[in-house]
Structure 1
């Protein structure tokens, strides 16, 4: 059976290990092209025939097609499972000789901490060999309640090891370390945790099945945006991004650990997550502590602004090899990242952006990755995974909420109710398309349409995310590099956020509604109906008799709320302005 022909989509050839290798070897200008991901669903023969490096070389094109045409189907699952089983050796018990006194490394730690803040113990330990892979360190913390938490430690370079805990309880804590390095094993410490500081929020958790709240129970309404590679742009642009966020409506930021190689993303970062260089290659067994300190600084600065960092751990837009590390390297990277960052209050974990474009990773890999994250995160931050084409199975128990990219060119938020019913989890539409004017259909909707999709998703009980892709002379597009807003939707999204926050109980849940509009709120108490791109000049409503109501006409685009004079009851008609993007709010009078 022929696996591939000239008519096969490039996507599937790239997803085959040997097909991927052949194209990388024969046509590196294609596989390293930042535009590669826009070519995936064209026929491989046509792509090869239009590649500049193969121009006037029909024999070479024919040879590549012959090679991929002779490939056999592969059992990727079995291959990856076998590789993962042998590629993560346990650290050696003989890392330090028996002459080293057990627990002899110097410990430094603060005497006090506070609930919802980070406690950090630092240990001055050995640095020979490769401590990132040769040393395993963890600490078992005992809470005042008697509960124990196992917390991984990590190597921070220059002979320094750290163990961090996001403190969940007030009172006296103790801990004991365990390590294959004798000097790091059996160290004990104590500290006292005071109450949470005024305004401290705690972690965001799932609440009421479909929504979110901070640890203390205060509702959290995710009003998200995306700037994938903003922490890789240098100090001036990164500070501008923070200033923009400080003045904007967003309280969640989707962002990547790794830099990005894609449309409008061809600049090199100042720092890399591993030791090495693009020219000389990277040592995927040696994380670069300076890179992670910088990332942590930016995550902390987001926290100061009240913004959750929805951190993407893997993505396919790569020219550095970070997306094609071995199973063992993937595992060690994940353990390191989670050990370093899980003590940040405002972290959400996203295993991947567009997981299904990481061709060499299988469902078994993603399930293994989820287990690594959960095992190394004692605080239990939110955890999900994001799709390109096919949805992941969001019913899997480790997934706290869906993280959706639209699958229909025009409709996305309209499916929110269906997804709530299917998965019984919060629906977060992280990518409904982006407001902008680039050539890609995912990046050229209007501000009106972005705002409409936010309202549609909110009315149907979900949460929609923003992004912006306006052409820029220096390729500074918000959706990846941050900088400043150029679109018209952020201010309107902020207006929606204010409307949502006024909802009794803090959440909008869908209500039974007419066939042509969505309605949300609390039935017969607080009902909000949204007309979207329709433009009625009036509407008839029915509410219970002998109950008085006030009516607000909300212009979601012009950001106005007009309260009609007097009260209404029973059946009544509301005159409307005959414009698009109008909502009607009906509030019971006490």
Structure 2
């Protein structure tokens, strides 16, 4: 009897020990994905545990590493992540930014157990575009790291893009938008909704509005999902990565929107659960060159400005590749404009005077003493008419296309949203638009946006500044005086442009069709255009003749 009680006491003592002290994983094996990769792709080191014994590998074990050019003092610190619910697989990723030979060191830790592996890889020059950066010379604008090409930000919204259960729909949606010259999508990493804003969208066997990065007892429940914030939903994250990889091969930037205000299943603000989520997201996603971070949609509905500053700074400290980051509050004044972590603005204002609005945004930015790109990433969704939105036709395809021109002519950028009227689980069930990214050939709004992209990328738009004072009749002007003048006439007509002395090549650009019409040379110091060929909106482009 005494022996039995002693055994029981020992058993209770063992049970009382922290799980991390009991963990002694066996057969920890490291493997490298490839000996060589192109710069801005990534090498992955996988850690396989033959007999994982962590009770919760997401909280009890870590994988961390460093890498850098062979022989160089500079090293980037990188965090890895658990990629199996039972803790049998961990991964860490290294994205080289230039060709050359690299070395790395990675360490797996669990309690008192530790194992380190070192290795090498080579990066080659594949002419890949790297992360998006602010142009240091023209900081109202963006460039691609690596190639130095300028990036004309032309975004659309697809919050629930990864809600499609069939990933072929996700990929075909990305491919369609790429053909339409969209190069940025706003996509939710976490989010749920039980309302559809009057849109022709329903959940069903092929589509869900419940995006669950964590494990949940009832993931399709809005009110009681039973989320476990200490464990991650591995298949969901792997699905997200496949979407990112597909987008990366098409040079499409994905805005990783961390959460949205449409549900209440957020980890507590500033909690360890929330920080673990952010760490995990940065560890998994930052080696993809084609991302930016967004702290949350309608952020000021569920987080305050202090949280935004602290969390943005936290991400900046975690991310070894320093991807651009922003936030998307309901109220545009809640932007951390002066902070180092804040890469560009992302306001939402549905005014139908976008040109004046974005000029005012630029002035606000100038007052901070820090110039960064200005974007309105929510100024309307096509055919979207809840009572708080502009009344018809305030969100028509033509109105939104005109708003996009107004924004661009202010030296700023925008993100739009397509109609949902073609339906998701609603006949004809070929759409989804701003909710999930799917569309069909009847949805033509973005054709007009593609023409706008063609116009601006036909000249060095990043060198121009707003100069509306050079024009009359309410037209808008971007200019590098004496070199380039771009004018936009919202209702056609004619315009007089005050030019630096000289002779300029001139042409009309049909903002509706993309057609160009050459004009006789324009002569300074003042030139009046002929009347536009029709009464809809037109643009003019004048360039100094050699």
Structure 1 residue matching 2:186: 3-state secondary structure:
strand
Judging changes above 3 Å, is the alpha-carbon distance between structure 1 residues 539 and 313 closer, same or farther for their aligned structure 2 residues? same
After superposing the two structures, state which structure 1 stretch, 579-588 or 288-297, moved more. 579-588
CA–CA distance in 2 between the matches of 1:524 and 1:574? 17
The answer to whether the 8 Å contact 2:482/2:499 transfers is: yes
CA–CA distance in 2 between the matches of 1:323 and 1:95? 24
Match of 2:281 in 1: 337
Match of 1:86 in 2: none
Deviation of residue 397 (structure 1)? 1.9
Match of 1:295 in 2: 240
Aligned pair 1:115/2:43, yes or no? no
The answer to whether the 8 Å contact 1:524/1:544 transfers is: yes
Q: State how 1:39-438 maps to structure 2 within 5 Å.
A: 95-97=20-22, 105-109=28-32, 110-125=34-49, 126-144=52-70, 145-157=72-84, 158=86, 159-181=88-110, 185-197=114-126, 199-207=127-135, 208-215=138-145, 216-235=147-166, 236-261=168-193, 262-263=195-196, 264=199, 267=203, 268=208, 272-276=212-216, 277-278=218-219, 281-318=226-263, 321-322=265-266, 327-358=271-302, 361-392=303-334, 393-406=336-349, 409-423=351-365, 424-438=371-385
384, 389, 410: which one aligns with 1:460: 410
The answer to whether the 8 Å contact 2:23/2:53 transfers is: no
470, 483, 486: which one aligns with 1:513: 470
Judging changes above 3 Å, is the alpha-carbon distance between structure 1 residues 156 and 491 closer, same or farther for their aligned structure 2 residues? same
Please tell me the root mean square deviation across aligned C-alpha atoms, in Å: 2.6
Gaps of 5+ in 1: 1-91
Deviation of residue 258 (structure 1)? 1.6
Q: Report Cα offsets for 1:164-212 as digits up to 9, x if no partner.
A: 1211233332222345426873512222222221x31111100021100
The answer to whether the 8 Å contact 1:348/1:381 transfers is: yes
CA–CA distance in 1 between the matches of 2:342 and 2:269? 24
The answer to whether the 8 Å contact 1:176/1:187 transfers is: yes
CA–CA distance in 2 between the matches of 1:367 and 1:178? 31
Structure 2 residue matching 1:450: 3-state secondary structure:
helix
Q: Which stretches of structure 1, 4 residues or longer, exceed 6 Å deviation after superposition? A: 98-101
Q: Report Cα offsets for 1:69-106 as digits up to 9, x if no partner.
A: xxxxxxxxxxxxxxxxxxxxxxx9972559779xx721
The answer to whether the 8 Å contact 2:155/2:414 transfers is: yes
The answer to whether the 8 Å contact 1:413/1:432 transfers is: no
Q: Report Cα offsets for 1:137-186 as digits up to 9, x if no partner.
A: 21122333321111011100141111112112333322223454268735
CA–CA distance in 1 between the matches of 2:30 and 2:362? 49
Match of 2:481 in 1: 523
Match of 1:556 in 2: 511
Judging changes above 3 Å, is the alpha-carbon distance between structure 1 residues 573 and 505 closer, same or farther for their aligned structure 2 residues? closer
The answer to whether the 8 Å contact 2:464/2:484 transfers is: no
Q: Greater helix percent: which structure?
A: 1
Structure 2 residue matching 1:558: 3-state secondary structure:
coil
The answer to whether the 8 Å contact 2:171/2:243 transfers is: no
CA–CA distance in 2 between the matches of 1:472 and 1:565? 45
Judging changes above 3 Å, is the alpha-carbon distance between structure 1 residues 217 and 550 closer, same or farther for their aligned structure 2 residues? same
Aligned pair 1:570/2:501, yes or no? no
The answer to whether the 8 Å contact 2:484/2:541 transfers is: yes
The answer to whether the 8 Å contact 2:36/2:123 transfers is: yes
CA–CA distance in 2 between the matches of 1:113 and 1:487? 39
CA–CA distance in 2 between the matches of 1:338 and 1:107? 22
After superposing the two structures, state which structure 1 stretch, 264-273 or 418-427, moved more. 264-273
Deviation of residue 127 (structure 1)? 4.3
CA–CA distance in 1 between the matches of 2:24 and 2:158? 51
TM-score for the superposition, normalised by structure 1: 0.77
CA–CA distance in 2 between the matches of 1:219 and 1:213? 4
Gaps of 5+ in 2: 1-16, 366-370
